[in-house]
Amino acid sequence: MTDGLTTRLDAADEVTWPARPIPSPRRRRNRIAIIARRGGKLVVALVSVAVLTVTWYGWQFIGDPNSGLSTTQVFDEELHAVPLDGAVDILLVGMDSRTDAQGNPLPREVLDMLHAGESDGEKQTDTMILVHIPQDGRRAVAISFPRDSWVELAGGFGKHKLNGAFVYAYNDRFRELQQQGADLKSADEQAKVAGRKNLIATLETFIGKPGMIDRYAEVNLASFYEVTKALGGVEVCLKAPVRERKSGVDLPAGRQTVEGVQALAFVRQRYDLPGGDLDRIGRQQAFLSGLARKMLSRDVLANPGKLSDVITAVKKSVVLSDNWDLPEFAAQMRGLNSGNIEFRTIPVVGNAVIGGADVVRVDPQAVHAFVDQLTSDGSERTSSSVAPTSSASSAPPTSSRRASSSVAAPPSSPALTSSSPAPPPITAGDVPCVN
């Protein structure tokens, strides 16, 4: 099996947690400077949701971060009553969507600029990262899942690529709502909830931990563009120059700062990469490490104007589960003493072509063992703590529901075989060079 990629991010400094009331302008500037000097261990530990935590910092000086954020109800009401006294498990999803967080279509000029066609990849979950923060707060781990992983989808849709979990459930629910006479906007919103729930259920089954995920964060196409523009770019490094038409990437070899269009292209390219989706995951992990370094820099934390721009960008492009209160969450995460986070990729068997599609073969038992090893701290939720969904309007399709007749039944998967040795880890102490 291949433990595809590993990235470790370390920080040794403590965080001073400001009081909740909004300070005066002079005290505000002083506090920002203190935080900038002492680092931002919480931001580092939650690098995959760094923009959200920076939003929390902004609340201390600018306003309420929960105000204006888009939310979605993907967990049962019973979960809201469960105190956050155990592990926190966040599913971070990058959505290749042509709408913003409020469901408004992206302008034509923005789509053209981002090299995003009308339907190419629409509503596909291109990035899926499970962030596990144990109860003792000694470490955090972010586990990446290749979008092309060949898995059994929840909802009775059979075996398909992992990134189909959302779109199959979305399409199924959308058609059902249209037949019931729902308007397009209402049908779209309810179908998105069904897609999100089905993705969560698929991943939890895939890793062998039903009920584990308790937080959800979704960013869309425009997020990398908006946030990196607000930050002034993120430093990355390429082993060789790249130029690829579909993603629009056109970058030289070596260290460089990317923002906006090229930042999106850097993390989005999957064609013409020697390792395909696994190489793209390596880029995403390297980019997130750079994003954390930039978020922690004095240039951001000591600059109220830039901080405000980042918050504005986040609110335009991020959707959170509605049980996520950012100030409360950030306060509970202040016990992360080590400031360490590891980026890991699930073990894979290899590539294959199934039904004419390029897929990544995985061994579910190996994935179970891998995730168990990374999350066995005695604090994760169990399925008994989460009640089954009861909402008929937003629940994912039941196991008896099959994909529509337009979806061909997948052929049998090839037999699993052993894989090649794992590639060397990516370290985040510096700027890692990637394919």
Structural domain harbouring 219 = 2-10+72-299+315-326+339-386
Would you state the pLDDT for residue 56?
Answer: 52
Averaged pLDDT for residues 353-366: 94
Q: Does the pLDDT value for residue 270 go beyond 50?
A: yes
Q: What is the pLDDT of residue 197?
A: 97
**CA-angle at 241, arms to 220 and 123, nearest 5°:** 20
The string of DSSP letters for 68-131 reads T-EEE--S-HHHHTS-S-S-EEEEEEEEE-SB-TTSPBPPHHHHHHTT--SSTTTTEEEEEEEE
**Dihedral angle of Cα 44, 10, 207, 321, to the nearest 10 degrees:** -10
Residue 35 reports pLDDT greater than 50: no
Q: State pLDDT tens for residues 182-239.
A: 999 899 999 999 999 999 999 999 999 999 998 998 887 666 677 888 888 989 999 9
DSSP state of 271: T
87, pLDDT greater than 50: yes
The answer, yes or no, to whether residue 178 has pLDDT greater than 70, is yes
Residue with tokens 């470490």: 139
Instruction: Select from 36, 46, 51 the least CA-distant residue to 226.
Output: 51
| 435 in any annotated domain | no
- What pLDDT digit, counting tens, does each position of 327-348 carry? 666 655 555 543 466 788 999 9
Q: Which of 29-33, 235-239, 262-266 has the lowest mean pLDDT?
A: 29-33
**How much of the chain, in percent, has pLDDT values that exceed 70?**
57
Q: What is the CATH number of the domain that holds 186?
A: 3.40.630.190
136-170: per-residue pLDDT in tens? 666 778 899 999 999 999 999 999 999 999 999 99
> How far apart (Å, rounded) are the C-alpha atoms in residues 37 and 14?
10
Length of the chain: 435
Residue 34 belongs to a domain: no
pLDDT reading at 8 higher than 70: no
Residues 6+ apart with CB under 8 A from 154: 165, 169, 198, 201, 202, 205, 396, 399
Q: What is the pLDDT of residue 201?
A: 97
Which stretch of 117-121, 127-131, 304-308, 337-341 has the lowest confidence by average pLDDT? Answer: 117-121
For residue 433, is it within any domain? no
Domain annotation covers residue 129? yes
pLDDT band at 3 (very low <50, low <70, confident <90, very high): low
Identify whether 309 is part of a domain: no
pTM comes to: 0.74
Tell me the two tokens of residue 158. 């059979």
Tokens of 339: 């400031």
User: What's the one-letter identity of residue 276?
Assistant: G
Phi-psi region of 105 (alpha: psi -120 to 50; beta: other; left: phi over 0): beta
What's the rounded Cα separation, in Å, for the pair 50 and 45? Answer: 9
Contact 290, 9 (CB under 8 A): no
The pair phi, psi for residue 131, each rounded to 5°, is -100, 115
Q: Is 384 exposed, middle or buried (0-12, 13-18, 19+ CB in 10 A)?
A: exposed
pLDDT of residue 41: 36
Whether residue 324 has pLDDT greater than 80: no
Name the domain count of the chain: 1
Please state, for a pLDDT cut of 90, what percent of the chain lies above it. 27
Q: Are 431 and 294 in contact (CB under 8 A)?
A: no
- Among 16-30, 63-77, 280-294, where is mean pLDDT lowest? 16-30
Whether residue 356 is contained in a domain is answered as: yes
Look at residue 53 and tell me if it is in a domain.
Answer: no
Q: Is residue 239 part of a domain?
A: yes
Most confident region among 24-28, 62-66, 330-334, 365-369 by mean pLDDT = 365-369
Q: With a cut of 70, say whether residue 375 has pLDDT above it.
A: yes
Across the strands, what pairs with 237? 255, 433
